[in-house]
């Protein structure tokens, strides 16, 4: 488990903390598999960053559960929540262990790679350049899923991470975008984000 930073407690509903932990752990699994398959250091680094966030959320959830328990009955009712949170935290730790294979240059055995290649989709992490045709466009307006079979599943803007952004989300320069799709669509999307290609085909 990653060493926790000093966290200042803030009141956040346990439900919201658990939902974010679930969403992040699911994203981490996808990223970790793709990082191993394509030996992608940027994807592996994103997994490690997300693990820190999940660890912090788990810490806040434990604090919230303790504060919410007024008696033995309350404590008993919260046991299920803390067990699920702990299991989710372990899932994120496992994803980080997979990412470490890439970051430490250990390499993935050919048998494992062969199994991973059965994945029909791949992920990418790319920064939108100032001259990208994507900048200033809303996700719903771009229709990436229909045009190239690509879904944007996360956007990191400064220190804020948005998972499964809505259609009215506008892409800005410098956004770090995580996208999922078929290999050909992913390649096209990367060129659009990097400003190599300036035309979004209909």
Report the CATH number at residue 34.
Answer: 1.20.58.220
Residue 7 covered by a domain: no
Please indicate, yes or no, whether residues 85 and 139 belong to a single structural domain of this protein: no
Q: How does residue 2 score in pLDDT terms, banded at 50, 70 and 90?
A: very low
In this structure, is residue 100 part of a structural domain? yes
Residue 1: the pLDDT is 45
Whether pLDDT at 6 is above 70: no
Residue 4 domain flag? no
Give residue 177's pLDDT.
Answer: 95
Query: What is the percentage of the chain residues whose pLDDT exceeds 70?
Result: 92
The pLDDT tens digits for 148-157 are 999 999 999 9
Q: Give the domain CATH number at 144.
A: 3.30.70.1450
CA dist 91 and 58 (Å) reads 12
Looking at 79, 110, 141, the residue that finishes a domain is 110
For residue 4, pLDDT over 70 is answered with no
Q: Please tell me whether residues 127 and 157 are part of one structural domain.
A: yes
Give me the number of domains the chain comprises.
2
202 within some domain: no
* Domain membership flag for residue 187: yes
The answer to the question of residue 200 being in a domain is no
Residue 115 lies in a domain: no
Write the pLDDT tens digit of every residue in 13-63: 888 999 999 999 999 999 998 888 888 899 999 999 999 999 999 999 988
From 110, 131, 150, the end of a domain falls on: 110
Residue 9 lies in a domain: no
One domain for residues 34 and 98: yes
Q: Tokens representing 108? A: 């993935």
In the listed set 85, 110, 135, which residue is the last one of a domain according to the structure?
110
Render pLDDT for 86-115 as a digit per residue (tens, 0 to 9). 999 999 999 999 999 999 988 777 877 776
Say whether both 142 and 77 belong to one domain.
Answer: no
- pLDDT tier for residue 183 given thresholds of 50, 70 and 90: confident
**Do 18 and 93 lie in a common domain?**
yes
Domain with 144, as residue range(s), is 120-193
Structure-model confidence comparison of residues 12 and 147, the more confident one: 147
């Amino acid at each position: 488990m990653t060493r926790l930073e000093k966290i200042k407690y803030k009141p956040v509903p346990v439900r919201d903390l658990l939902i974010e932990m679930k969403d992040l752990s699911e994203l981490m699994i996808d990223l970790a598999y793709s990082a191993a398959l394509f030996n992608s250091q940027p994807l592996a680094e994103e997994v490690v960053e997300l693990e820190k966030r999940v660890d912090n959320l788990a810490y806040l959830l434990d604090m919230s559960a303790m504060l919410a328990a007024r008696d033995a009955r309350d404590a008993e009712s919260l046991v299920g929540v803390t067990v699920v949170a702990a299991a989710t935290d372990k899932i994120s730790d496992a994803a980080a262990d997979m990412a470490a294979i890439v970051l430490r240059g250990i390499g993935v055995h050919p048998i494992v790679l062969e199994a991973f290649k059965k994945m029909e989709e791949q992920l990418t992490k790319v920064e939108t350049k100032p001259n990208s045709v994507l900048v200033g466009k809303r996700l719903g307006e771009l229709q990436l899923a229909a045009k190239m079979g690509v879904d944007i599943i996360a956007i990191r803007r400064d220190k804020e991470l948005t998972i499964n952004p809505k259609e009215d989300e506008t892409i800005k320069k410098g956004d770090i975008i995580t996208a999922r799709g078929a290999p050909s669509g992913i390649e096209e999307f990367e060129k659009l984000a990097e400003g190599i290609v300036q035309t979004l085909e209909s």
